[in-house]
Structure formats: C-alpha cells, structure tokens
Copies of this chain bind each other. A is one copy, B any other.
Amino acid sequence: MHQQMAATLDSVFDRIREIQRQARDGKAAEGCPRWPMIVLRSPKGWTGPKEVDGKKVEGFWRAHQVPVSNCRGDDGHRKILEDWMRGYDPEDLFGADGRLKPELRALAPAGERRMGANPHANGGLLRRELDVPDISDYAVDIGKRGSAMVQSTEILGHYLRDTMKRNAEAANFRIFGPDETESNRLGSVFDVTDRVWMEGIEPYDVHLSRDGRVMEVLSEHLCQGWLEGYLLTGRHGLFSCYEAFIHIIDSMFNQHAKWLKVTRELEWRKPISSLNYLLTSHVWRQDHNGFSHQDPGFVDLVANKKADIVRIYLPPDANTLLWVGDHCLRTYDRVNVIVAGKQPEPQWLSMDEAAKHCEAGIGIWHWAGNEEDATSPDLVMACAGDVPTMETLAAVDLLRRAIPELKIRTVNVVDLLALQSRDQHPHGLTDEAFDAIFTSDKPVIFAYHGYPYLIHRLTYKRTNHRNIHVRGFIEEGTTTTPFDMTVLNQLDRYHLAIEAIERVPGLKEKAKEALAAFRGKLAEHHDYVREYGEDMPEVRNWTWPAA
C-alpha cells in the first residue's frame, strides 16, 4: 500500500509539472487542463480490530470514534486493544526510554517543511498589507444635502477597481460572489480585471479570462469556501451577496468565526485578513423578486459570535460606505458584515462628515433635527440602514412641517454593535455616551433595517431602553413597490411620524390634524399602488428640504 501511494504521488507530481511547463511555455492545450486528483478509498477503521464481540468493526460503521468500549472494565476488550496497539510493533519504534528512535525522528522534515510550520497553513506569515487608495479620491460631492441620487455600491466599485489595480502585481486580492458583481453595481472592477473562466471563451463573451480576479459562481457555498481558503493562505477578499441568500452559508460562517476565536488565543498563529461580506440587493429593494428574497436575519446570527470577532455596518450613503469598505479591508482576524443597497438613494454626508460619523459609529445629525437646546429634545428619531434612514428623514420632515414646536433629535447608527454596552462589545458606547445621544427619558423611535428584536437585544441594558420603540422587518413581504414594502412592515415615514406623535406625552391630543393627515396618506398610498403599480409621486419625488 505504501509503495502504491508513493508511486501514485510521483506520477501526480509529474503530471502537475507537465501542465505547468506547458502553460509557462505558452503551449497549453485549449480549455481547462485536467488536473490530477487522487481518490483514495480506504476501509473505515483500517488496521483496527476486525471484530469485537463477534461483530464486524473494520470496514464498517462500528469503527466510528471508539471501536472497542470499556477497556478498563472488560478484560477481553482490553486484550483486543492491546493486540491492536502491539500490531504497530512499538519495540521497533521506541527506545528503552520510551522515546521515538533517533533514526526515525530524523526521517521527519525540518523547518518550514514540517506540516505544522508550513507557512501555507499559517497564512498570516505570508500576508502582505493590501495597498488601498485614498477614499477621498472617490468621495461623492453631495451638493445640497439629500439632492444627489447615487448608487452607493457603484461608488464603492470605483474604489474596489483601483484597489484591484494597485495589487495586481501582488495578486492577492479577489472579489467573490454568486454571479452578482454587475447586478450589485460593482461592475467597474471589470475595467481592470475579468471573471476567472477556465472553459471555452466565445467571441460574444465579456469580461471572462483565465487570470480574472473576480470569482463568480452561483453557489454561495463555493464562494464562501474559496474566500476562506484565500484568506487562510494570506490573501485579501470581499464576498458580495444578495442579503437573503447569505443564510446559505450560515454554518460555514459559524465555523470560520469559531476558528478565528480559537486561533486568536494561539500566539504562533499570525493574523489573517478579515472575512468581508457586502450584503446588498437587500430586503427593502426587491422590486422584481419577492418574499423569498427578503430576509435580513444574517446579522442576528453574526451577533451571537464572540464580540471581538464580529462587526456589523449599515452605512446610509455612498461616502459612509466608502469609509466602511476601506476600513474593513484593512482589518484582520474579523468577520465584517456591511449591509448597503444598490439602488439610487439620497446622499447625506460629505466625506469629512462621513469619516467622523463612521469613526464614532453612532451620531446625532444636528442638521436633521431642530432641538435648540442640545440637551433636551422632545423626541429622538433614530435609524440604521439606508432605507430606514431615508424614511426617518422623511418622517422628521413631515413632523417638522406639521408640528414646528416639536423638538426632534435625529440619530444615525452605522456601527451597529456600538449600541451594545462596552462590557459586551469593544465598540460599545459607554452608558454616559449612549445616554447623551439617546437621552435617559425621551421616546426614541428607531427605524432599523432588519428584524427589530436585534435592537432590543443590543440595548436592553441601557437607561432609556423602555422608551426605545423599534420598527423593522416583521416578515411581511411580497413583490411590490419599494415604498409599499416599508408600509407593510410599518417602517415608512407615515407610520414613523404617527408613532412619534403617539409616544410623545400629550402630543396626541394636540396633533390630531397631523395624525389624521398621516393616516389619510397611508390609505391613499394603499389605493394608489394598487391602481398604478408604482408609488405616489409625493413619495417617489420626496427630497430633504435642503435639497
């Protein structure tokens, strides 16, 4: 058997060398070379006991885990164990001192050839920093706030294109995704590279080549596995995926996060690049698709893992997405999840503002509130995620027009885990900082991108938790207009404004007209989308007043 195995390995190595030589001489045959692969089928429990208690063990499922049980108490079983162990001829292997004989030790390879010391199995040793451009070169000039409609992921695409270019020689950066690079608006990377493709390429094909650095295959499992292997061997990458379908690799994410947690405790393991997810085509924008494509729950799973391993970012516009994307690519030993839409959306922050906001993780958007005395608003309107941010700002606009005397504070959250207490997560705000933003006693209407429970779970220890009222995805969905999706889940501007009025003490009685108007708008919307199949013009064309 050993002779056979050695001979097979020799012939396989020869074949690999031959394929490489042909490719390097430019004499490779058309199509993908057939790389050799060894299929070794060996009996389960091979060389272990053939039978125990008259029952077949070797080559059978009984060989699993512990083939002979209770060897302490059962003399017959102990004899089986002893015979088995003696079958290895320990006298030939070990000296009188119980140590492996020197001539056998000498057979083992030395240095990096040792299996446990091979740098390809400790990728951090091979890792080179990614050469990234300056994000300010890609910044969106937002002009008047809320006036520019931009596809945020497209802007990130420009940054990724140049990152790809700067690291072309190092050949250590790849983008992975289930056939969605274009669809997710990252297409400008194809200005500098292609999709890797090993089959035939036809004249009408576009952006396919043997050495493309975009890995596309309609299997989230394969994308995840490829990226894990790529990171573990010291390289860098980004996995862009439809939000709902990233659940396909939940179990693989779990295992990678566990692996990171454990290896961080092993000094000899050097840090590897973070596993970065860009979740786009998200729950709120599934115009052609439907309920099956609507699931923002991956982050709930992520938040279960060890705090220092995971980060969750919900950039509300292009400049914040640029900051977050760049930040994630430069971290290590983490799993970063970025959730950002690909549809045109209003732009809120200049690059400088975005950098400050993202570094803090959470911030008051003073320009979007009207509290004169910064310490005592009547109401906090909070949001996390691009669509909730737009709906919150529209609700603030409605409320300010209808009830000018209401003092509103607007808060936006980019770094979701900053909501947690500092003793639960390293990014968590201190209680003082949290209270300074969310107040200790005012109603907070929180519009959140995903399942609302996550916000409660993250904030339950906070002073003002009882007053935090969360709107999010409550598993109501279908194929409908973008705004109707928010209405079905009560995350839209009218529901938010109504809830604000209902939650501010005494306001309900004073703002009857506004309440009636907002409820009327919901009824109008209901009829309008059914008649015209698109959103009401005042919704579609709404812009922030400054715009």
Interface residues of A (CB under 8 A from B): 56, 60, 65-66, 204, 244-245, 247-248, 250-251, 254-255, 258, 261-262, 288, 291-292, 295, 297, 300-301, 303-306, 451, 453-454, 456-457, 460, 465, 475
Contact = CB atoms under 8 A, between A and B. Distances in A.
B291 A262 contact: yes
B291 A297 contact: no
Contacts of A254: 244, 247, 295, 297
Contacts of A295: 254
Contact of A292 (B66, B255, B288, B305): B255
B451 A304 contact: yes
Given A60-B204, A254-B247, A297 B304 contact: yes
22 contacts: A60-B204, A65-B288, A66-B288, A248-B251, A250-B250, A250-B301, A254-B295, A258-B292, A297-B301, A300-B300, A300-B304, A301-B301, A303-B453, A304-B451, A305-B475, A453-B457, A454-B457, A456-B456, A456-B457, A457-B457, A460-B460, A460-B465
Nearest to A291: B258
Nearest to A305: B475
Contacts of A451: 304
How many chain copies? 2
A180 B243 CA distance: 32
A306 to B, nearest CB: 5
A212 B304 CA distance: 39
Chain A interface main SS type: helix
A305 B248 CA distance: 16
A305 B475 CA distance: 7
Nearest to A258: B291
A27 B297 CA distance: 53
Nearest to A248: B251
Given A456-B456, A460-B460, A204 B56 contact: yes
Given A300-B301, A460-B465, A247 B258 contact: no
A251 B258 contact: no
Contact of A251 (B247, B453, B454, B457): B247
Q: Which of A250, A297, A465 has the most CB of B within 10 A?
A: A250
A495 to B, nearest CB: 17
Contacts of A250: 247-248, 250-251, 301
Contacts of A258: 291-292, 475
A423 to B, nearest CB: 12
A65 B288 CA distance: 8
Please give me the 6 A-B residue pairs with the lowest Cβ-Cβ distance, nearest first. A247-B251, A250-B250, A453-B457, A457-B457, A248-B251, A56-B204
Contacts of A460: 456-457, 460, 465
A451 B454 CA distance: 13
A337 to B, nearest CB: 15
Nearest to A51: B204
Nearest to A300: B300
A460 B460 CA distance: 7
A297 B304 CA distance: 7
A424 to B, nearest CB: 9
Nearest to A307: B475
A195 B451 CA distance: 40
A171 B306 CA distance: 46
Contacts of A465: 460
Contacts of A453: 303-304, 457
Contacts of A255: 292
Given A65-B288, A250-B301, A261-B475, 20 more contacts: A60-B204, A66-B288, A244-B254, A245-B251, A247-B250, A248-B251, A250-B250, A254-B295, A254-B297, A258-B292, A258-B475, A262-B291, A297-B304, A300-B300, A300-B304, A304-B453, A305-B475, A453-B457, A456-B456, A460-B460
Contacts of A56: 204
Given A300-B301, A301-B297, A460-B465, A475 B291 contact: no
Q: Which of A248, A258, A304, A456 has the most CB of B within 10 A?
A: A304
A250 B247 CA distance: 6
A254 B258 CA distance: 23
A268 B300 CA distance: 35
A264 to B, nearest CB: 12
A325 to B, nearest CB: 25
Contacts of A288: 65-66
Nearest to A470: B460
A376 B479 CA distance: 53
Nearest to A66: B288
Nearest to A253: B247
A196 to B, nearest CB: 16
Contacts of A305: 475
Nearest to A451: B304
A339 B304 CA distance: 18
A247 B254 CA distance: 9
A453 B255 CA distance: 20
